[in-house]
C-alpha cells in the first residue's frame, strides 16, 4: 500500500545525489511555485556554509519562502534541554522541509543531541546518503565510477538510546529493531532504487550474530523485495560489506541497513569519494524531510571564511529536487561540480595546484559558473519517489500462538563462584514450576558444568525454564522465584522468555546445548 507524500507528485525528488551532464527535459518544474522551507543556520561553520548556499540558491532562481529558525548550541545555553525551541518545531511542522547547518551539543548542556531530537521529533526514519565520484577530486578511487547510496534506518537500533547501568561496572544498551521500522526502510530503499533507475538493493546486516534483531531486518527485507521483482535484492554481512566497499565499491548500487551499521558505512562511503566535506544527506519521514551536510560544525575553522560549503550546497540540490524544483537543482549541481572539476577556486581543504580561496570567494566562483556543465558523469534519469504509506496506529505483528516459557534474571554477585551462585539460585526454585536451565556470563554458559575458562564478572544471567513443558507459566510463579532471589542477591533486569508460533523469541547462549 502506498501513497504519495505531502507534495503529491512533487515528491519528485529524488535526492538522487550528484548527477549531471545534459539537463534532462523538465516539465512542471520550469515554472516552480514558491515553496516554504525552514532554514537553521546552525553552529560553528554552519552560518558561513548556509549563507553561501542561500546565496547560490537565490542566484540560481530557487523559489523559496524561507522561515529562519534556531536550534543547537545557543538554545542549549539558554536553558532549553532539547536544543530545539517550540518555534522551530512549529515552523518545520508547517513547512515539512528543513535545510539545516550542523548543530553542536555543548559539553555540560543538554543530554541529547539536537540532531537526534529533530530526527525523532519528525520521525525522519530514513537517512539517505549518496556517494558519487566528484570530478576533479583526487582520491584513491578516482576513475572507478563509484556511485552508490546508503539508505540507513534512522530511528531504531542502539540509537534509541535505551541504556541502563546494571551495576556500577556493567551497562546494558538496548538494540531495538521492529518489523514495522524494518519494512518502512526496506520499502524506502526499493522505491528510491526504482525512482533513480538503480539496479540492485543490498541489505547489510549482522544477522549471523544478532539472529533476532538484525535477523528480522534481513527477513523483512526479503519479504519486501518480492514486491520489486525488477530490482536485484542482495544480502551481505555488514563486516564483509565494509571490506567489499574498500576493495570494489563500484559493485554497489543502493545499500540499506540498520542505524549503527549505516552510521559507520556511510562515513566510509563518504571517504571513498572525497570525504565528509562533500557528503550531502537527507533525513526523510512521511511528513518531513530535513537536508544537511554530513560534516559537523568544525569549531577549529569556524568564523574564518575557510569552510568548504560544497556539502551543504549539494544537500540543497537534494532538497530542491525533493520540493519539485529540479531545474534549479541541476543548475546548482552542475555549477558546483564544474567549479570543483575546473579546480582554480577551491577551499583550503582540497586546493592543490592553486592557492586556496575562502568560503566567500569559492561561492562567488560557483555562482559565476551557473549555466556551465562539468565534462564527466551522466545525469541519472529520475522519476517521482513514492513514499511508503504510514499508518500511525500502533503496530502489532500477531502470532497465532504464544506462550511464556521461562524468564531470565540478571543478578549481581562478586564473591561467589559460578557453582555457588548456581546452588543458591536453584534453592529458589524448590516447589516452583520453574527450573534453572543455565547461568551465563556475558553470553557464555558458566553453569552447570565444570567451566573454568570463562572470565567472570559481577553479573550473572540466570535462565529459568518450565519444569513441565505442557504448562504455561504465570506471572505469580515468576514473581515468587524473583522475590526469593531478591533475599540473597541484588537483581537488576528481568526478561520473560516467550515462544511465538512455536519459535523461541530468545537466542541460545554460547555453550548451550
Q: Is 300 in the site for ligand NAD (CB under 6 A)?
A: yes
Closest residue to ligand NAD, judged by C-beta, is 296
Tally DSSP H helices, then E strands, for the chain: 13, 18
The one among 298, 331, 438, 509 contacting ligand NAD by CB under 6 A: 298
Q: Is 38 in the site for ligand NAD (CB under 6 A)?
A: no
Residue whose CB is less far from ligand NAD, 298 or 481? 298
Choosing from 159, 192, 362, 447, the catalytic residue is 159
Q: Which three cell numbers stand for residue 487?
A: 533475599
Choosing from 5, 147, 263, 364, the catalytic residue is 263
State the nearest-atom distance from the C-beta of 299 to ligand NAD, in Å.
6
Return the number of other C-beta atoms located less than 10 Å from residue 328's C-beta. Answer: 24
- 421, 439 in Cβ contact below 8 A? yes
Residue with cell 533513480: 196
**Which of these segments, 9-17, 294-302, 363-371, 400-408, binds ligand NAD (CB under 6 A)?**
294-302
In 3D space, the residue among 57, 117, 127, 71 whose CA is nearest the CA of residue 290 turns out to be 127
CA 395 – CA 122 distance, rounded (Å): 18
Query: Could you give the 3-state DSSP secondary structure of residue 321?
Result: helix
State the nearest-atom distance from the C-beta of 336 to ligand NAD, in Å.
13
Q: What b/e readout covers 160-198, taking b as 16+ CB neighbours within 10 angstroms?
A: eeeeeebbeebeeeebebbebbbbbbbbbbbbbbbbbeb
Return the number of other C-beta atoms located less than 10 Å from residue 121's C-beta. Answer: 17
The one among 35, 301, 323, 340 contacting ligand NAD by CB under 6 A: 301
Residue whose CB is less far from ligand NAD, 194 or 295? 295
Does the annotation mark 159 as catalytic? yes
**Which of these segments, 96-104, 266-274, 437-445, 469-477, binds ligand NAD (CB under 6 A)?**
96-104
State the nearest-atom distance from the C-beta of 349 to ligand NAD, in Å.
4
Does the annotation mark 355 as catalytic? no
Site string for ligand NAD, 105-144 (x = CB under 6 A): x---------x-----------------------------
Assign 3-class secondary structure to 36-79.
EEEEECCCCCHHHHHHHHHHHHHHHCCCEEEEEECCCHHHHHCC
Task: Show the beta-strand stretches assigned E in 344-480.
Answer: 402-412, 434-441, 444-447, 459-466
Query: Number of C-alpha atoms within 13 angstroms, CB side, residue 417?
Result: 8
Q: Is 295 in the site for ligand NAD (CB under 6 A)?
A: yes
Q: Is 292 in the site for ligand NAD (CB under 6 A)?
A: yes
Residue with cell 547462549: 509
Q: Is 307 in the site for ligand NAD (CB under 6 A)?
A: yes
Q: Is 296 in the site for ligand NAD (CB under 6 A)?
A: yes
CA 152 – CA 124 distance, rounded (Å): 11
Residue with cell 551536510: 293
Does the annotation mark 445 as catalytic? no
Q: Is 103 in the site for ligand NAD (CB under 6 A)?
A: yes
Q: How many residues bind ligand NAD (CB under 6 A)?
A: 21
Residue whose CB is less far from ligand NAD, 41 or 380? 41
| Residues facing 406 on adjacent strands | 465, 497
The one among 53, 117, 259, 297 contacting ligand NAD by CB under 6 A: 297
Q: Is 263 in the site for ligand NAD (CB under 6 A)?
A: no
Q: Is 158 in the site for ligand NAD (CB under 6 A)?
A: no
Residue whose CB is less far from ligand NAD, 12 or 310? 310
Q: Is 356 in the site for ligand NAD (CB under 6 A)?
A: no
Residues 6+ apart with CB under 8 A from 350: 137, 274, 277, 308, 340
> What are the Cα distances from residue 236, in Å, to 14, 100, 263, 268?
26, 33, 17, 16
The enclosing H or E element of 378 equals: none
Return the number of other C-beta atoms located less than 10 Å from residue 86's C-beta. Answer: 9
Q: Is 351 in the site for ligand NAD (CB under 6 A)?
A: no
State the nearest-atom distance from the C-beta of 44 to ligand NAD, in Å.
6
Choosing from 89, 184, 206, 445, the catalytic residue is 206
Does the annotation mark 239 as catalytic? yes
Site string for ligand NAD, 53-92 (x = CB under 6 A): ----------------------------------------
State the nearest-atom distance from the C-beta of 298 to ligand NAD, in Å.
4
State the nearest-atom distance from the C-beta of 42 to ligand NAD, in Å.
6
CA 286 – CA 388 distance, rounded (Å): 8
Q: Is 308 in the site for ligand NAD (CB under 6 A)?
A: yes
Q: Which three cell numbers stand for residue 205?
A: 546486516
Angle between helices 475-488 and 418-427 (to 10 degrees): 130
CA angle at residue 311 from 204 to 91, to 5 degrees?
Answer: 90
Residue whose CB is less far from ligand NAD, 10 or 45? 45
CA 27 – CA 403 distance, rounded (Å): 58
Q: Is 350 in the site for ligand NAD (CB under 6 A)?
A: no
**Which of these segments, 82-90, 99-107, 199-207, 390-398, binds ligand NAD (CB under 6 A)?**
99-107
Question: Can you give the binding site for ligand NAD, defined by CB under 6 A?
Answer: 45, 49, 102-105, 115, 276-277, 292, 295-301, 307-308, 311, 349
Residues annotated as catalytic (active site), given as ranges: 159, 206, 239, 263
Amino acid at each position: 500500500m502506498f501513497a504519495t507524500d505531502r507534495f503529491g507528485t512533487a515528491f519528485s525528488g529524488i535526492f538522487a545525489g550528484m548527477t549531471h551532464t545534459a539537463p534532462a527535459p523538465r516539465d512542471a518544474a520550469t515554472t516552480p511555485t514558491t515553496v516554504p522551507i525552514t532554514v537553521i543556520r546552525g553552529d560553528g561553520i554552519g552560518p558561513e556554509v548556509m549563507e553561501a548556499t542561500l546565496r547560490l540558491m537565490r542566484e540560481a532562481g530557487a523559489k523559496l519562502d524561507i522561515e529562519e529558525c534556531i536550534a543547537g548550541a545557543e538554545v542549549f545555553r539558554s536553558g532549553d534541554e532539547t536544543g530545539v525551541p517550540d518555534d522551530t518545531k512549529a515552523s518545520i511542522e508547517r513547512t515539512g522541509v528543513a535545510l539545516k547547518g550542523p548543530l553542536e551539543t555543548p559539553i555540560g548542556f543538554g543530554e541529547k543531541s539536537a540532531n537526534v531530537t529533530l530526527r525523532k521529533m519528525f520521525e525522519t526514519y530514513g537517512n539517505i546518503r549518496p556517494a558519487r565520484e566528484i570530478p576533479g577530486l583526487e582520491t584513491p578511487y578516482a576513475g572507478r565510477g563509484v556511485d552508490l547510496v546508503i539508505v540507513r534506518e534512522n530511528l531504531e537500533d542502539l540509537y534509541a538510546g535505551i541504556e541502563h547501568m546494571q551495576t556500577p561496572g556493567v551497562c546494558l544498551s538496548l538494540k531495538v529493531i521492529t518489523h514495522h521500522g524494518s519494512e518502512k526502510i526496506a520499502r524506502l530503499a526499493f522505491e528510491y532504487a526504482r525512482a533513480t533507475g538503480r539496479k540492485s538493493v543490498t541489505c547489510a546486516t549482522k544477522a549471523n550474530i544478532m539472529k533476532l534483531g538484525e535477523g528480522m531486518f534481513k527477513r523483512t527485507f526479503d519479504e519486501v523485495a518480492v514486491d520489486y521483482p525488477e530490482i536485484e535484492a542482495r544480502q551481505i554481512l555488514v563486516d564483509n560489506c565494509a571490506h567489499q566497499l574498500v576493495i570494489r565499491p563500484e559493485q554497489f548500487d543502493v545499500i540499506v541497513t540498520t542505524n549503527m551499521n549505516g552510521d559507520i558505512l556511510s562515513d566510509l562511503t563518504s571517504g571513498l569519494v572525497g570525504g565528509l566535506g562533500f557528503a550531502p544527506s537527507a533525513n526523510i519521514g512521511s511528513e518531513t524531510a530535513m537536508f544537511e551536510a554530513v560534516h559537523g560544525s568544525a569549531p577549529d575553522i569556524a568564523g574564518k571564511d575557510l569552510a568548504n560549503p560544497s556539502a551543504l550546497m549539494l544537500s540543497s540540490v537534494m532538497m530542491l529536487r525533493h520540493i519539485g524544483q529540479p531545474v534549479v537543482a541541476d543548475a546548482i549541481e552542475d555549477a558546483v561540480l564544474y567549479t570543483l572539476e575546473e579546480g582554480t577556486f577551491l577551499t583550503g581543504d582540497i586546493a592543490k595546484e592553486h592557492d586556496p580561496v575562502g568560503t566567500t570567494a569559492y561561492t562567488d566562483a560557483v555562482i559565476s559558473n551557473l549555466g556551465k556543465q562539468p565534462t564527466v558523469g551522466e545525469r541519472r534519469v529520475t522519476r517521482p519517489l513514492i513514499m511508503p504509506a504510514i499508518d500511525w496506529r500502533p503496530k502489532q505483528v500477531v502470532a497465532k500462538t504464544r506462550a511464556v516459557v521461562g524468564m531470565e534474571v540478571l543478578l549481581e554477585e562478586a564473591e561467589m563462584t559460578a557453582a555457588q551462585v548456581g546452588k543458591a539460585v536453584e534453592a529458589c526454585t524448590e516447589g516452583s514450576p520453574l527450573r534453572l536451565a543455565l547461568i551465563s556470563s556475558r553470553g557464555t554458559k558458566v553453569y552447570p558444568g565444570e567451566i573454568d575458562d570463562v572470565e567472570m564478572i559481577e553479573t550473572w544471567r540466570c535462565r529459568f525454564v518450565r519444569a513441565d513443558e505442557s504448562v504455561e507459566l504465570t506471572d505469580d510463579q515468576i514473581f515468587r522465584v524473583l522475590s526469593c532471589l531478591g533475599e540473597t542477591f541484588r537483581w537488576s533486569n528481568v526478561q520473560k522468555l516467550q515462544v511465538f508460533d512455536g519459535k523461541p523469541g530468545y537466542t541460545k547462549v554460547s555453550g548451550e546445548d
